[in-house]
Amino acid sequence: MIKPHFRRYLPLALLALGLVLSPMTGLSADEAAPHKDTSILETILEGGPLIMAIWVAIIGTSITMVTLIIQNIMQLRKDKLAPLPLVNSLNQLISAGNYQEAWETCNANKNYLANVLRAGLSRIGRGKEAVEDALAEHGLREATLLRTRNSYLSVIGVVSPMIGLLGTVIGMMGAFSVLASSGITDPRALSGKIGEVLLATASGLFIAIPAFVSYYIFRNVAQMCIVHADDVVNSLMIDLPYEELQGVQIGENFNAGAGAQDGFTPGARKISIALATNCPVCSGTVSPGINPCPHCGATLDWAA
C-alpha cells in the first residue's frame, strides 16, 4: 500500500520518469508522406556521438531527480526525525535521571533527535549554557545534512535546461548544414532536424520544472520537520537540574561525579539526579560511586 506521503509527491516522480519512457512524434511537412512516429531512442541514435552523449546526460539527470524525490519523500517526515517511541523512551529516562542510559539510547539510534540530544547530554555536567550551545551546534549540522540532498534538486533544475540548450545548439548546426547542402528543396529534412533540436530543449525543461517544484516543496517540508524535532529536543532538556549535575560526565567516559572510583565501567550504573545520598546501613552521607561506605564500610550497590 502506498503511504500518504508518497502519494502526495508521486505525480512529480511520474512526470520526470515519463521523459525517459515517452515516445516523440516526428514532424512532417504539410503535403508530406504518411505520418511516422520516431522514438527518443531512434532520435538519439541518428544524432551522432555528441548528441548521444548529451542525451545520456539528460536521461542521467532525470533518473537522479526521480531518485532524490523518492529519497526526500521517505526521509523528510516528522516520524523519521523524531520517532515517537524514541521520544517516549528518552522522556522516561531523562525524567528518572538516567542520563547515561539516555545517552546510550541516543547512541544506538541514528536520526536527527538522537544525534542532537546525544551531544547535549554529553555536556550536561558543564552547565546549561554549554548544553544549549551543543544542541544549537549539532542541530545546525543535522539540518544542513538534511537540506543537502534537497539542494541537488535545485542544481538539476538549473543544469538540465543548459544541457538541453547545448543539444539544441549542436542540432541547429546540423540543421544549417542540411540547409547549406540541399537549400530549401527538401523542407522535410530541414524540419526533421529542427524537430530533433527542439526535443533536447523540451527534455531539459521537462526535467527542470518538476525539479524546481520539488525543491521548494521539500525545502518547506524539511523546515517544518526540523522545527518539530527541535521542539522535541528542547522539551526533553528543559527541566534539567544543571546546578546539581556540575562535574558529571556523560558518554563513553562516564563519570558519576567526584566520588567515582578508578576503573568504574561506563554505563554500568545509572546516574541519579541527586549527587549525595545516605548509606542504607549507617545513614551517613555518601557520594554516588563510592564503595564501600566511608562511615561503616558496608558494600553499596549503586544500581538505580
Q: Is 227 a member of any domain? A: yes
My answer on whether 295 and 191 are in the same domain is no
The 10s digit of each residue's pLDDT in 243-277 is: 887 878 887 776 655 434 343 333 333 334 444 56
* pLDDT-above-70 percentage for the chain: 62
Q: Is 213 a member of any domain? A: yes
The 10s digit of each residue's pLDDT in 131-173 is: 899 999 999 999 998 888 889 999 999 999 898 888 888 777 7
My answer on whether 207 and 291 are in the same domain is no
My answer on whether 163 and 96 are in the same domain is yes
My answer on whether 108 and 237 are in the same domain is yes
Q: Is 29 a member of any domain? A: no
Kindly indicate the confidence band of residue 240, based on its pLDDT and cuts at 50, 70 and 90: confident
Q: Is 28 a member of any domain? A: no
Q: Is 209 a member of any domain? A: yes
pLDDT value for 39: 57
My answer on whether 304 and 203 are in the same domain is no
Q: Is 144 a member of any domain? A: yes
Measured from the Cβ of residue 234, the count of other Cβ atoms closer than 10 Å reads: 13
**Overall domain count for the chain:** 2
Gap between the Cα atoms of 166 and 188, Å rounded: 23
My answer on whether 187 and 298 are in the same domain is no
Q: Is 31 a member of any domain? A: no
My answer on whether 235 and 121 are in the same domain is yes
pLDDT value for 17: 47
The 10s digit of each residue's pLDDT in 59-85 is: 899 999 999 999 999 888 888 899 999
> Residue 15 above 60 pLDDT?
no
C-alpha cell at 40: 527518443
Which residues constitute the domain of residue 18?
Answer: 1-22+36-252
Q: Which of 6-15, 84-93, 155-164 has the lowest mean pLDDT?
A: 6-15
My answer on whether 51 and 163 are in the same domain is yes
C-alpha cell at 62: 532525470
Q: Is 30 a member of any domain? A: no
